[in-house]
Amino acid sequence: MKLVRYDDGRIGAVVNEPSGAADPLRVIDLTAALGIDPLEWPPVGMVRVIKHFEDDRAALEQLISSARGTQFNAARLLTPVPWPNKVIAYPVNYIDHATEMKSTGFADVQGFFLKANSSLIGAHDAIELPALPDRSVHHECELAVIIGREGRGISAADAMDHIFGYACLLDITIRGKEERVMRKSYDTFTVVGPWIVTADEVGDPSDLHMQLWVNDQLKQDATTRDLLVDIPNMVALASSAATLYPGDIIATGTPAGVGPIVDGDIVTIEIERVGRMRVPVKQGTKGRNFVFDRPLKT
Ligand code: MN
């Protein structure tokens, strides 16, 4: 199943239009069936949906098979899990990216870091560049793993049972030597979407082709086969330290080909069996501070 958050905070399933119409996808509104208030605060409805999904699944599939739905193209997509317990991210998890960054801080040596949950946006939002004219802001093309079942000390052998699904993820990053969490936690710097595809629909995630274009120029082209720490071991490592909860997001790392994005760019990410999204880049006016006012260290 493909689960979206859209419009004013509704939750829906995306299905194929059987007739082969111009808009091949439709959205079935599951908000009422799931008992979600779209305007609730904090917006934790999707976390609850993920937690109870296996219990609700049969009823949801019944509803989906009988509902007509609305045009997918008319939906305004929001980030699927806007208020997770945490966003975990793996640095330098592809050898070719380590080479281009001249980095030896591999994920199997460094472990993981966190990104601010408030940096999450969805497929129809825009990446806002901070007003740091001396700094380069880079795109990173990543597969997002969405946790389904709570656990601490999860073994790699059991890890796949704790995964709810997958999404496309852009890990936007200010290059520099300052604390990584700060450089990656600016508002709009974690784009997740266009939906969450449940794990059963993706199958084996160990060789998913992923690509990223800036203005239709291919910049990143890789497969999850080349991950240094693979998906089961990322779940195991994260959960050795922190309890993982339904809705937690793991950014699995980026392959080679990262590069700058500037005002007016369109970043497109596509991951096999997961999805595709096109996200505009806009120059913002916020983000200066006394740390980034210091001369750039290289
Ligand atoms: Mn990254």
DSSP element (H, E) containing 98: helix 95-100
From ligand 1's centre to the CA of 138, what distance in Å? 10
pLDDT single digits (tens) 262-280: 999 999 999 999 999 999 9
Q: In the prediction, which pLDDT does 95 show? A: 87
Residue 19 clears pLDDT 70, i.e. is over it: no
Residue 258 clears pLDDT 90, i.e. is over it: yes
Q: In the prediction, which pLDDT does 22 show? A: 64
From ligand 1's centre to the CA of 290, what distance in Å? 25
Confidence of residue 96 (pLDDT cuts 50, 70, 90): confident
From ligand 1's centre to the CA of 99, what distance in Å? 15
Average pLDDT over residues 96-102: 85
From ligand 1's centre to the CA of 91, what distance in Å? 6
DSSP element (H, E) containing 147: strand 141-147
From ligand 1's centre to the CA of 12, what distance in Å? 28
Average pLDDT over residues 35-51: 97
Residue 109 clears pLDDT 80, i.e. is over it: yes
What's the mean pLDDT when you consider all of the chain?
A: 95
Q: In the prediction, which pLDDT does 105 show? A: 79
From ligand 1's centre to the CA of 109, what distance in Å? 15
Tokens representing 265 are 């760019």
Cis peptide before 24 (omega within 30 of 0): no
From ligand 1's centre to the CA of 5, what distance in Å? 24
Question: DSSP secondary-structure letter at 109?
Answer: H
Residue 97 clears pLDDT 70, i.e. is over it: yes
From ligand 1's centre to the CA of 31, what distance in Å? 32
Q: Give the least confident one: 11-20, 81-90, 115-124, 211-220.
A: 11-20
From ligand 1's centre to the CA of 230, what distance in Å? 15
CA separation, residue 193 to residues 197, 233, 275 (Å): 9, 23, 8
Q: Give the neighbor-by-neighbor strand order of the sheet with 209-214.
A: 127-129, 275-283, 266-271, 209-214, 217-223
Average pLDDT over residues 206-216: 97
Q: What are the residues whose beta carbons fall under 8 Å from the beta carbon of 9, sequence distance 6 or more?
A: 36, 38, 39, 40, 43, 45, 78
Q: What is the pTM of this model?
A: 0.97
Distance of CA 180 to the CA centre of its chain: 18
From ligand 1's centre to the CA of 89, what distance in Å? 7
Q: In the prediction, which pLDDT does 196 show? A: 98
Residue 20 clears pLDDT 80, i.e. is over it: no
Task: Considering only residues 96 and 245, tell me which one the structure prediction assigns the higher pLDDT.
Answer: 245
From ligand 1's centre to the CA of 190, what distance in Å? 10
CA separation, residue 245 to residues 57, 124, 170, 181, 212 (Å): 19, 26, 22, 21, 29
Confidence of residue 71 (pLDDT cuts 50, 70, 90): very high
Confidence of residue 295 (pLDDT cuts 50, 70, 90): confident
From ligand 1's centre to the CA of 169, what distance in Å? 9
